[in-house]
Amino acid sequence: MEYGSIERDIHVEASPEVVFEVVSRPEHMREWWPDDARFEAVAGAPGELVWRDGESGETTTVALAVVEVVPPKRFSFRWCFSEPDRGGDSLLVTFDLVPDGEGTRVRMTETGFREMGWEVAVLEEQYREHASAWEHYVPALGTYVARLVSAS
C-alpha cells in the first residue's frame, strides 16, 4: 500500500457501464465536481476544470490531463500540476470499477501527496500505522497543550 494517498470505496446500484460514463464524461463530471469540465475522454488528452465564484462571477481554471480510459473498468487523470503546461508534480486520481452484485464497487485513489508536500503524506502514514482513529489525536492535543501551559 502506498503512503501519501487517499482511498475511498463506495457501492453504487448501477452497472459499471453507467458509472464509467458518470466518472469519465465532462457533462456528468460537472454535476459532481467543478462548475465546468472540458476534456475528451481519451488517454493523453489535455483538459480543464473550471470553478465559478457565485458572487463575483470570477472563474478559476485548473489544468487536467487524461491518463487512462479503459471502459468500463478504469478512468484516471492528473490535476494540481506544480508547473505550467501540465508539468512538474501532480496528483493522480484513479477510478477503478468492479462489478459488485447488481451494481458496481467504485474505488477512488488519489496519489501524489508525498511529492506535493509532506504534510498529508506523513499524516496518512501515521493514520495507517496507528489503529486509533484521528478523533483520538485532537482531544490528546488539547490535554498536551494544557499541560504545556500549566508547566510554563
Please list the residues that pair with 62 across neighbouring strands.
49
17 vs 53, beta carbon nearer another protein: 17
Q: How far is the CB of 11 from another protein (least distance, A)?
A: 8
In angstroms, the CA 11 to CA 8 distance is 10
Q: Say how many residues touch another protein, by CB under 8 A.
A: 43
Residues near 127 by beta carbon (within 8 Å), at least 6 away in sequence: 134
50 binds another protein (CB under 8 A): no
DSSP state of 55: T
Q: Which residues 93-152 are close enough to bind another protein by CB under 8 A?
A: 104, 106, 108, 110, 113, 118-120, 122-124, 126-127, 129-130, 132, 134, 136-138, 140-141, 143-145, 147
Place of cell 485548473: 62
33 binds another protein (CB under 8 A): yes
82 binds another protein (CB under 8 A): no
64 binds another protein (CB under 8 A): no
In angstroms, the CA 29 to CA 64 distance is 13
